Amino acid sequence: MSTEVEAQIDQSLATLRAAFSPRFEAAAGAGGEPALREENAKILGKKGELTAILKQMGTVPGDARKRIGEKVNLLKQEVEARFEALIKTLAASKRDAELNALPFDLTLPGRAPTPRGHRHPVSSVREEVLDIFASLGFAVHDGPEIELKENNFTRLGFPPDHPATDMQDTFWTTSGTLLRTHTSNVQVRAMMSQKPPMAFVAPGAVYRRDDDVTHSPMFHQIEGFVVDEKVTFAELKGTLAEFAERLYGPGTPIRMRPSYFPFVEPGAEVDIGCVFCIQPSGTRRGCSVCKRTGWIEILGCGMIHPVVFEHCGIDPERYTGFAFGMGVERVAMLRYGIPDIRLLFENDPRFLSQF
Give the binding site for ligand FA5 (CB under 6 A).
Answer: 182, 184, 208, 210, 215-216, 219, 221, 223, 261, 264, 267, 297, 299-302, 323-327, 329-330, 341
Please say whether the beta carbons of 263 and 162 come within 8 A: no
Closer by beta carbon to ligand FA5, 60 or else 326: 326
CA separation for the pair 90, 84 (Å, rounded): 10
Residue at 207: amino acid letter: Y
Comparison of 75 and 338: residue with beta carbon closer to ligand FA5: 338
Q: Which is nearer to ligand FA5, 23 or 237 (CB)?
A: 237
> Of 75 and 188, which CB lies nearer to ligand FA5 in the complex structure?
188
> Cβ contacts of residue 41 below 8 Å, gap of 6+?
48
Pairing state of beta strands 264-273 and 295-304?
antiparallel
Q: Are 320 and 304 in contact (CB under 8 A)?
A: yes
Contacts of 170 (CB under 8 A, 6+ apart): 152, 178, 179, 181, 207, 208, 209
* Min separation Cβ 286 and ligand FA5, Å: 20
Question: Which of 118, 126, 117, 182 lies closest to 335, judged by CA?
Answer: 126
27 vs 204, beta carbon nearer ligand FA5: 204
Residue nearest to ligand FA5 (CB): 327
| Pair 272, 244: CB distance under 8 Å | yes
